[in-house]
A and B are shown apart, each in its own frame.
Chain A
Amino acid sequence: MAKIVLQREVAADFADGETDHNVDADDVRQLIKRLDERFPGIGKRLGDRTAVAIDGEIFQDPMLQPIQTTSEVYFLPMIEGG
């Protein structure tokens, strides 16, 4: 199962403050769906313009990016810039 790390603020709102989770998912869409089943309401928050780092590579607002069973996935704020 992939290792998932939520932002602390999101974890506080939906997951009793627990940031680290293990989830079986093939891609980001499925991952968010599985998290939403576990923590109702979190899917809308995670699916709305966040960034996701999969094995160190940051994707802006992703949905279909594949996730491996060995992946480390971090939900991050969408990265901006000047």
Chain B
Amino acid sequence: MGNEEQQFKTVKKSAATSGYKVVGTRPVRPDGIEKVTGRANFGADLSLPGMLTGRIVRSPHAHARIISIKTDQAMALPGVKAVVTSADFPEIGPKQRGAGEAPISFRDLSRNVMAREKALYDGHAVAAVAATTAAIADQAAALIEVEYEVLPHVLDAREAMKPDAPVLHDDIFTKGVDPKPETPSNVTQRFQFGLGDTDAGFAEAEVVVEHDFTTQCVHQGYIEPHACVVDTTEDGMATVWASSQGQFMVRNYSATLCGMDISKVRVLPAEIGGGFGGKTTVYIEPVAIMLSKKSGKPVKLVMGREDVFRATGPTSGGHAYAKIGAKKDGTIVAAELTMEYEAGAFAGSPVQFGCMTGYAPYDIPNVKAVGYDVVVNRPKVAAYRAPGAPVAAFAVESALDDLAIKLNMDPIALREKNAAKEGTQAAYGPKFQRIGFVETLEAAKDHPHYSAPLGPNQGRGVASGFWFNIGGESSAAIHVNEDGTVEVVTANPDIGGSRASMAIMAAEVLGIGVDRVKPLIADTASSAYSALTGGSRVTFAVGKAVCEAADEVVDILRARAAKVWDVDLETVEWKDGAAINTKSDEGETLTLAQIANSAGKTGGPISGAANINAAGAGPGFGTHICDVEIDPETGRTSVIRYTAIQDVGTAIHPSYVEGQLQGGAAQGIGWALNEEYIYDDKGRLQNGGFLDYRVPVASDLPMIDTVLVEVPNPGHRFGVRGVGEVPIIPPLAAVANAVAAAAGTRVNDLPISPPRLLAAIDGAK
């Protein structure tokens, strides 16, 4: 074990991983060499003969009616081969459903990809061009004349909820309220979840805390901007090379938006340079299809970083109010949470998931969580790790920290006293099956970090988080090669190490070394459908499909061996990558390679496949410990020590799991301390680049320690739980609680930037 590995700790709460030969090991990542040598092909890397360069014209206004779009001058420019506007896309009705996986509005998606009646945010696409060179495309884009009627705009959820706020859509009438409103509003829907009677619960409470919180919308910050190449042919077939979190998602969404049959679109997944949820929808692919159709040429569209910030989905900012009542012994008797989330220009923030997750880690008899989905003149939000949960957890876990102080209780002890366990009714309704929240709290309490001494101006915070995790439709195929090596073919882009995990699970079932397994990612024409890579589902759900496909291969291998030995199938066992004739006195065996080598004699090629809708995803819980040091003169906060602890079920490839925890923690720290969108008074984004939109870099952070608590998920043969969502949930409050401890005053508005912290310190004097 190297020094780096010694910094990580794997806590095994069961013998789940004992007895495995491959699961739980750390082989070299299958995509590692290609990526470190620059050979991996990302979305922008492909070039085709005769390929055109596409450019998108974007609205400079936060809210404006589009009066007219004149394209004549652009089209007249030599080298320009196509111009498209919304008029080139079919009108999609409000009830039209396309193929796809999430219950989204394709009418809204179509208008987000290309504005129709109104531009709804700075950066909203209004037209696109394709030309023979990038310079000509830029020139043509500048020649497109768009006449706007500029309208008042609104950027903040609470401002947008006011009766006199500019209304973005005249067909939105708030759902979920009684009586049904008769005038349009920016509040698309009110959600409510809960248990018991909070009024009665608060009447019992001996200590009550309540706080109001504000967070800013933050971007997923993936390194690779959106990019695609599209080639269409005369028969109406479109071939798309794209970087995304789901080639089938790109196929289905693009076909729907372009009015094409799904069979007319083939999507080949490029390597992906980060997604974190932000690449679970389409922005440029339908536009590139239309440009390619009109020009008859291949078209490449690549977003610049500013385009990414102005026009792709961040996650919601918003407001949250949390109120918690408890007995003096720390028993929580009532809790409320009210949240307003900014959805961006179209309905659909993750506020309902915030309502469901905020109090989910705790066993509370009386809970009420209310959420409002609010449209504002910002880009439409997209998924970001554990959508909706971090903001809710920031409010709840900060309020809990204050409650612990008021009760003079250790913050972990307070959480332990109220922790959800197997059988606890979650705040969103169902009862939990086997979960490992308590184990994460125990691991946090026992960790040396928690008892380490602190210096001047330093403080420590803890916070926890919950995410459901999901399964879903998944496919896998396994092909046995003539030499006994194996190809595992799945249809999910590898954004978090899924190739390695698939190879490991296949190797474990087949009983062979992982070096004999080659994981591959197929395009939409070469694999059965698989839902996109997201929601921490792939290692769990696609892994289940891989295991079932491997089971089928083992069954075929046993049958082939039975034929060779001329014995009944029941007499053949499979162990350590070989068939064993249990009736043979000599211990007759045939290895996988031997059976594969003679497959032609026993029936032909050997392969297995599985197409499933995976259920049984086990919920995930995490607890983080954060130490900060503040500079009382400048207000700068430095994270000096951080430990992320999580129930990960079974870690198939522990290094990747640790990486997920570290990455989520880093993103959450950025959300807490630095990241925010800055707009001018006209609603134009002022910091659309990584120099001004400050994500944490390696030099900003300490080594993030991880503890993998393994409470196996009974819904998976190896005990897998999704791990990618949970680690971004606790950091916001863990950091804020640490800052509160260091500064002696609480900052409830994120990011806790130096000016904001200084103001809080000065205000507390």
| Chain A interface residues (CB < 8 Å from chain B) | 5, 8-9, 12, 48-49, 53, 55-62, 65, 72, 74, 76-82
Contacts and interface: CB of A to CB of B under 8 A. Distances in A.
Contacts of B190: 9
A56 B470 CA distance: 13
B649 to A, nearest CB: 15
Interface stretch (B46-54, B533-541, B634-642, B750-758): B533-541
Q: Chain B binding site: helix, strand, loop or mixed by DSSP? A: loop
B186 interface: no
Given A56-B432, A60-B471, A82 B725 contact: yes
B615 A81 contact: no
17 contacts: A49-B102, A53-B430, A56-B433, A65-B615, A76-B356, A78-B103, A80-B102, A80-B353, A80-B470, A81-B469, A81-B534, A81-B724, A81-B725, A82-B276, A82-B384, A82-B724, A82-B725
A8 B192 CA distance: 7
Given A56-B431, A57-B615, A82 B103 contact: no
Nearest to B531: A60
Contacts of A56: 430-433
Contact of A74 (B178, B350, B429, B468): B429
A80 B431 CA distance: 20
A63 to B, nearest CB: 10
B259 interface: no
A75 to B, nearest CB: 9
Nearest to A49: B103
Given A53-B429, A80-B383, A80-B535, A60 B470 contact: yes
A7 B532 CA distance: 26
A21 B725 CA distance: 33
A82 B385 contact: yes
B467 A81 contact: yes
Contacts of B386: 81-82
B330 interface: no
B611 to A, nearest CB: 15
Contacts, number: 99
Interface residues of B, number: 49
The 4 closest A-B pairs by CB, nearest first: A81-B535, A82-B277, A53-B430, A82-B385
Given A65-B615, A80-B534, A81-B536, A55 B431 contact: yes
A56 B618 CA distance: 10
A82 B470 contact: no
A81 B537 contact: yes
B433 A81 contact: no
Given A79-B470, A80-B535, A58 B617 contact: yes
B693 interface: no
Given A80-B534, A81-B387, A58 B468 contact: yes
B565 to A, nearest CB: 40
Contact of B430 (A8, A49, A72): A72
Residue of A55, A56, A81 ringed by the most chain B CB atoms within 10 A? A81
Residue of A12, A57, A82 ringed by the most chain B CB atoms within 10 A? A82
B176 interface: yes
Nearest to A8: B192
Nearest to B536: A81
Interface of B: 102-103, 175-176, 178, 189-193, 220, 275-278, 280, 350, 352-353, 356, 383-387, 428-433, 467-472, 534-537, 613, 615-617, 715, 722, 724-725
Nearest to B348: A80
Contacts of B387: 80-82
Given A72-B430, A80-B534, A9 B277 contact: no
A36 B722 CA distance: 35
Nearest to B385: A82
Contacts of A9: 175-176, 189-192
A60 to B, nearest CB: 5
A60 B613 contact: yes
B280 A82 contact: yes
Given A9-B176, A56-B433, A60-B472, A82 B220 contact: yes
B314 to A, nearest CB: 12
A72 B431 contact: yes
A20 to B, nearest CB: 11
Nearest to A73: B430
Given A59-B615, A80-B353, A82-B275, 16 more contacts: A8-B193, A9-B175, A9-B190, A9-B192, A12-B176, A49-B102, A56-B433, A57-B433, A58-B470, A60-B471, A79-B535, A80-B387, A81-B277, A81-B534, A82-B386, A82-B724
A56 B356 CA distance: 14
B468 A79 contact: yes
A46 to B, nearest CB: 12
A5 B195 CA distance: 12
A47 B346 CA distance: 24
Contacts of B715: 57
Contact of B383 (A58, A60, A81): A81
A48 B428 CA distance: 20
Nearest to B434: A56
Contacts of A49: 102-103
A29 B240 CA distance: 37
Contacts of B192: 8-9
Contacts of B178: 12
Contacts of B468: 58, 79
A54 to B, nearest CB: 8
A77 B350 CA distance: 11
A18 to B, nearest CB: 14
Contacts of B103: 48-49, 78
Nearest to B424: A56
A45 B681 CA distance: 42
Contacts of A58: 430, 468, 470, 615, 617
A18 B537 CA distance: 33
B645 to A, nearest CB: 21
Contacts of A8: 176, 191-193
A9 B178 CA distance: 10
A74 B430 contact: yes
Nearest to B191: A9
A2 B469 CA distance: 25
Nearest to B534: A81
A58 B468 CA distance: 8
B386 to A, nearest CB: 7
Given A58-B470, A81-B537, A76 B428 contact: yes
